[in-house]
Amino acid sequence: MEIPFLILALIAAFIYTLVASIRNSSRIKSLEREVLNLKRLMAAGVTSPATAQAESVESVENTDFEAEEKNRDLPGAAASQAEYASEPEEAAAIVEAEDVAREEAPPALANETASAPATKESFESLLGARWAVWAGGLALALGGIFLVKYSIESGLLSPAVRLSLAAIFGLVLGLAGEAIRRKAVPGIAAAYSNAMIPGVLTAAGALTLFGVVYAAYGVYGYIGSGTAFILLGLVAFATIGLSLLHGQALAGLGLLGSMLTPALISSETPNIWALFVFLTISWLATAAAARRQGWTVVPSLANAGLGLWALGYIGFSETINAEPPTLALLIMLAGTIFLWPGKHFDTPPAEAGETAAPERRAIRAIRLLLRPSLAINLTVSMAVILPAIGFLFASGGIDTHPALIVSALIAALAALGAARHYAVWPAIIAALGAQTAVALMSRQGIDFIGLINDTGVTLPPVGTGYTAEIAMALGLGAVFVLCAFSFLKRKGADDADFAQLWAGIAALFPVWLATASFVEYGNLGRDWLHAAYGLGLGFVLIAGAEWLHRQNNEAYRKPLNILVLGSFAAFALSLHTLTEGLATTVLLSVIGFVYVLASRYRNWDVLPWVMAVASVAVLGRIAWEPTIVGPQNLGLTPVFNALLPGYGIPALLAVASAWLLRDWPGVRAKNFLQAIASVMGLLAVAILIRHAMNGGTLDNSVPTLGEQSIYTLLTIGFSGVLMTLDLKSPSPVFRYGSMIAGVIAVINVLTMHFFTLNPYFTGENTGRIPFLNLLSIGYLLPALAYGGLAYYARGKRPAAYVSMLAVAGAALGFAWATLSVRRFWQGENIADWKGFLQGETYSYSVVWLLIGVLLLILGSRFNARSLRLASAAFVLISVAKAFLIDMSNLEGVLRALSFIGLGAVLIGIGLFYQKILTRKNAPPAPRQADT
């Protein structure tokens, strides 16, 4: 008899608490209405002693309550008050009074209220008004659990009675929550919206009912799986419905219950259609509640739950029925577009204030990714794309081709990205997911590395086996183009950042998908299907750019340029599917040149850059295959072979483009074209020389000194040509390019001519002709070229650069003279292992002194300080050689002649400098007086 008495005592205590709460809430509600009326009168300018006294009492006794009243200026406060009013008429009166008070309040009072900082909640309020509520709800749930546990252990009540009492207890909690909600104080709703007593009681009741139904089904077996499924669903939907009254937390509880219901109910023959219909209805109910209340957390959880169910079904099922999860995900996407968020956040983003250019770009990029409802965007995108990719990895059988399912899901996700301003992530993830799906659905067992290296790998025949894969890749590309133009037409003018993103998707991903389809499924020899797709895509993008141009809207300028660049990529794809080798390389430059010609009719910023991209693509093909047509197909005839058109035509077209665009307003594009035209021209000449000097073959063998000398002469001449172009048409490319070419030539001299390819170290034969031999080609001609370039650069380039050229020429002349002396004494082979002769050693001193004297004369004649310094260097070398080498190695008359000649030359040089310096320092002659 103790247990029933305890139960009755708990029920009585609960009823007493409930009645007291209702009585107190009604008293507080009446006080609140009086305060609202007083404030309305004050705002209207009506004052009275009673009003002043009421204000004084309120300011002393209800400080916290006034703070809550101030917070009512926040959005949603009036709605919250109306929600928790006991009657609809009272809610309307409260909202109307608040609106009247706000409209009639003086400006000063309104500003003061708006600027008042939010008061920090006291520890007493946090402990008593919030934590106590949640702790009380937990205590109620635990109390019910302990009571049932005690009754079970004691064997006092049968399972049916316990379940009935638990069900009654859950219903009582729900009814108590509704009763308190009807009598709750609006001020409490505004201040403690996340700790409302009605919501906590309702949540406790919902959990109790969930437990009762599951225990009746899973523990005691009183009801079947169908009945349990229906009851759990009803409890979940009822909880979601009540969340409209009690808040988002209760909606999350109902959503959790609905998502767990199928997992709690086991069946040997599950009905997949019933499962996903139930989950879809749960999602729609959650979305409808979220739309009414403006929630974002619960719908995000609903997206994740539906996606996880679809992914789990795909991963753990032996035989997959693809239609139910696919339709559920498609309905989720449609609900996101039209139900929630729908048009709620579909407004163009506000432009930020002016900032620095890099900061503005970074801020706009971040703002683009952090659009409203970010959580909903990410969850709905991942909930669709992960199951779509999961279909490709399904281990069990599937009743529909995965390509069809993946295409439908990704296309619908892309449609969401094009339908709303806020749907940035669906657009991005749809594009990336499409490329991932196409890459995963590749041919099995193909050695693409061996295919590229031509090791005899054969491809499986292209037939109906890949029709669905090809259709998926090309179809998704078309979907992205349609979505991009749909967004640009409807919303592009109002959302420049997102318009650029969609233009980039339309320009990049269809070409990317078609390329992957061609490489993995197409005929790598000649594929007319992918060629037609590339041509059609290119013309569509050009037509789209022309349409944007005619809109005459500045917001379309960047998307237009992106589409034009994408059209070139599409044409390049089509070209690669039909041609190979020389034709592909040459026609790639021809297509880029056509865009340059189009600049005569359209002033689109990107047109010169298309030719630049084409030239870079040509250089990329050259780097991949320098012979253009393959080593086995390259002829041995110098100059007149496949290299001449393969390198020459793209270089000529690049030069012609730079000349046609010499007056183009875009400085960067013009300079880049000039630079790449110069590089391609130099490369064309150099590769022809390499082919001719290397026996008609192109390989990575080390060049000879003669070949390297030609490259050095070519670089020196290239520097001079760029300097001439700069003088006629000033350009930073020509100016700095000429100096860079000169520096590169000097580096070649220091590394190749003096050390790596020097016949003294390599032992290379210098030739039988005394003067016209390898030494003249490798040293004398470059020395003269450096001297001429230094003379030409005087006054046109920095003095340090001119001095570098002059010193390089002098060093080459010194090397030629020195090696020529050795050849005179040693013969054609001047290798270091042959040692030195006494006459050879003496000859070096004579020649070096003569070079020093010659440089001194030239320096004096042209007033070139660098040449005079070089002369001094040669003289010092000769002096050092005389004292360090000649004194010990020469004997007899040669030793004496060496020092006599050195002394005479040194005295002559000193006399020469004395005369020059005396002439410079002499005072000017006095002017004679006129007579």
pLDDT of residue 532: 97
Highest mean pLDDT among 48-57, 262-271, 543-552, 883-892: 543-552
SS3 397: strand
Token readout for 189 is 């709703």
**CB neighbours of 410 closer than 8 A, spacing ≥ 6?**
384, 385, 388, 430, 433, 434, 437, 476, 479
pLDDT of residue 308: 96
Bigger pLDDT: 136 vs 407 = 407
Closest by CA position to 42, among listed 55, 29, 56: 55
Q: Give CA–CA dist 527/519, Å, rounded.
A: 10
Q: What confidence tens digit (pLDDT) does each residue in 578-598 have?
A: 999 999 999 999 999 999 999
Q: What confidence tens digit (pLDDT) does each residue in 226-280 have?
A: 888 898 889 888 888 888 887 888 788 888 888 988 888 877 778 899 899 999 9
DSSP annotation of 347: S
Bigger pLDDT: 455 vs 708 = 708
For residue 186, cis peptide bond before it (omega within 30 degrees of 0) = no
Mean pLDDT of the chain: 79
Amino acid residing at 305:
G
- pLDDT band of residue 814 (cuts 50, 70, 90) is confident
Question: What would the mean pLDDT of 169-173 be, rounded to a whole number?
Answer: 82
SS3 836: coil
pLDDT of residue 140: 66
Question: What would the mean pLDDT of 779-790 be, rounded to a whole number?
Answer: 93
pLDDT of residue 508: 96
In degrees and rounded to multiples of 5, residue 444 shows phi and psi of -90, 135
Read off the pTM. Answer: 0.74
Compute the half-sphere exposure of residue 186: CA atoms within 13 Å on the CB side of its CA: 30
Q: What confidence tens digit (pLDDT) does each residue in 734-772 have?
A: 999 999 999 998 998 888 999 899 999 999 999 888 888
Dihedral sign for Cα atoms in the order 330, 335, 337, 341: negative
In degrees and rounded to multiples of 5, residue 319 shows phi and psi of -130, 125
Closest by CA position to 180, among listed 169, 189, 170, 191: 189
Q: Give CA–CA dist 735/512, Å, rounded.
A: 39
In degrees and rounded to multiples of 5, residue 767 shows phi and psi of 105, 160
Burial class (CB in 10 A: 0-12, 13-18, 19+), 779: buried
Q: Give CA–CA dist 340/344, Å, rounded.
A: 7
Question: What would the mean pLDDT of 387-407 be, rounded to a whole number?
Answer: 88
pLDDT of residue 152: 62
Token readout for 674 is 């000039």
pLDDT of residue 852: 78
Question: What would the mean pLDDT of 3-16 be, rounded to a whole number?
Answer: 42
- pLDDT band of residue 112 (cuts 50, 70, 90) is very low
Amino acid residing at 391:
F
Question: What would the mean pLDDT of 541-559 be, rounded to a whole number?
Answer: 94
Pairing of strands 397-398, 319-320: parallel
Residue 465 Ramachandran class (φ > 0 left, ψ -120 to 50 alpha, else beta): alpha
Residue 265 Ramachandran class (φ > 0 left, ψ -120 to 50 alpha, else beta): beta
Whether the Cβ atoms of residue 674 and residue 661 lie closer than 8 Å to each other:
no
Residue 50 has pLDDT above 90, yes or no: no
Residue 354 has pLDDT above 80, yes or no: no
Residue 287 has pLDDT above 60, yes or no: yes
- pLDDT band of residue 32 (cuts 50, 70, 90) is low
- pLDDT band of residue 358 (cuts 50, 70, 90) is low
Where helices occur in 370-423 by DSSP H, the ranges are: 374-392, 402-419
pLDDT of residue 892: 58
Whether the Cβ atoms of residue 570 and residue 535 lie closer than 8 Å to each other:
yes
Residue 10 has pLDDT above 70, yes or no: no
Q: What confidence tens digit (pLDDT) does each residue in 515-546 have?
A: 999 998 888 889 999 999 999 999 999 999 99
pLDDT of residue 577: 95
Q: Give CA–CA dist 329/387, Å, rounded.
A: 9
Whether the Cβ atoms of residue 782 and residue 709 lie closer than 8 Å to each other:
yes
CA angle at 192 for the pair 189 and 198, rounded to the nearest 5°: 65
Q: Give CA–CA dist 261/167, Å, rounded.
A: 18
pLDDT of residue 918: 56
Dihedral sign for Cα atoms in the order 884, 885, 890, 894: negative
In degrees and rounded to multiples of 5, residue 135 shows phi and psi of -65, -35
Whether the Cβ atoms of residue 806 and residue 862 lie closer than 8 Å to each other:
no
Where helices occur in 827-884 by DSSP H, the ranges are: 838-861, 865-881
Token pair 């094009």 in the structure block, residue: 418
pLDDT of residue 339: 94
Element (H, E) at 319: strand 319-320
Token pair 């989720």 in the structure block, residue: 332
pLDDT of residue 3: 38
Residue 607 has pLDDT above 90, yes or no: yes
Token readout for 502 is 């969609």
Compute the half-sphere exposure of residue 363: CA atoms within 13 Å on the CB side of its CA: 12
- pLDDT band of residue 478 (cuts 50, 70, 90) is very high
- pLDDT band of residue 60 (cuts 50, 70, 90) is very low
In degrees and rounded to multiples of 5, residue 753 shows phi and psi of -70, -40
pLDDT of residue 143: 64
Residue 76 has pLDDT above 90, yes or no: no
Token readout for 431 is 């594009």
Bigger pLDDT: 173 vs 51 = 173
Q: Give CA–CA dist 29/144, Å, rounded.
A: 32
pLDDT of residue 156: 66
Bigger pLDDT: 315 vs 98 = 315
Q: Give CA–CA dist 69/46, Å, rounded.
A: 20
Whether the Cβ atoms of residue 191 and residue 66 lie closer than 8 Å to each other:
no
pLDDT of residue 441: 80
Q: Which of 155-169, 430-444, 452-466, 677-691 has the lowest mean pLDDT?
A: 452-466
CA separation, residue 137 to residues 195, 235, 502 (Å): 10, 19, 50
Q: Give CA–CA dist 697/859, Å, rounded.
A: 45
pLDDT of residue 926: 56
R_g of the chain, CA atoms, integer Å: 45
